[in-house]
Structure 1
Amino acid sequence: MIGTGRTGDRDTALRLGMDAFLDLQSDPLEDAGQLDVVFDVIGGDILDRSAALVRAGGTLVTIASPPTVRPRDGQAIFFVVEPDRARLADLGRRLRDGRLRPIVGAVRTLAEAPSALAPAQRTRGKTIIRVTEDE
């Protein structure tokens, strides 16, 4: 598996199990070679360039926006997550049991949510919005 991101994300990606890491600011994306599956969470130019990385019969999956490009001999899928109470409850159990360890980058109040989630406020990890004052 090959992870991508910024320089500061390298150690985290490798610790989470990536075999290799490409810095999107300094490494050519094309260095990834031909891949069976490309999972895009960024969109835009990165999504467009990722289509060329998909091997014949492979799949480009994006959660950023519906794909405007398709791999030459593969497929492109826009993956939208739908709420599912049972799966969310399972994730909660995994979190409490320690089987799921999210990377929390920031915890903000509900009043801070708009600014905390603005594109200019990049935080490594998940941003948690605290809805109540209770700990």
Structure 2
Amino acid sequence: MKKFILMIVLIVFFPSFVFAQFVDTKWKVIDHVGETWFSEPEEIIGKHQEFYKGWAEGVFYSCDYAGQSKTYNIYTQKEFLSNKEFSIFHKTKIASSEDNIFVHRITCNGKNGFGRKVLYPFVTQDNSNEAYYLFEGAVFILEH
């Protein structure tokens, strides 16, 4: 009887668990919002950023199976947009969607301690094929 009740509870509540939108795919930079400080957006737009398990390669970040890890925090739209760190994102589609927002921190330890890198914030959202990356004062928009 206990197993039956446990199964019912899991079936009812399992769909309500929240998981971050996947990041492991090939993303294409399609646009940007804001003004970059040093880079030329034309040299970035059209390029790719790809992640696959412990490997990454792209215009913003690379890690060749050298201790890559990913973590994320979940925000509601209101929480995300009220955070001063993310104020520039008011200019993106995130501002018009009520879906959960996932802020990913992707790190690479590097080989022998050299080549340590951090990609943050890499932002995805439920029910969207777009991602956003804050780089040099502008938000670059990627899609898969």
Name the TM-score, length of structure 1 as normaliser: 0.29
Name the TM-score, length of structure 2 as normaliser: 0.28
Structure ranking higher in helix proportion: 1
Structure ranking higher in strand proportion: 2
